[in-house]
Amino acid sequence: MTAMLTSTRKLTPLGELNLVLIANVLVALVAALHACFLILEMFLWDKPQGLKVFRNTPDKVAITKVLAAN
């Protein structure tokens, strides 16, 4: 028979709700960051804002544009 570990700390319904809320906020934050990186790399790579963010030169951008769109 397998032994089950039981926690001595019990979460209240409000505590569980807080944990779910925190987890959902963190997941949304990660998703938003991924969307920002996608836009920067796919659409703004050779634009002034993309050049500034990634500290690229126009010569380097011309070479790596296909890689960034991947």
State how far the Cα of 2 lies from the Cα of 28, in Å rounded to an integer.
37
List, in sequence order, the alpha helices (H) in the chain: 13-42, 48-54, 58-68
State how far the Cα of 47 lies from the Cα of 8, in Å rounded to an integer.
56
Give pLDDT tens digits for 1-36: 566 666 666 767 777 778 889 999 999 999 999 999
State how far the Cα of 19 lies from the Cα of 55, in Å rounded to an integer.
39
pLDDT recorded at residue 55: 94
pLDDT recorded at residue 8: 66
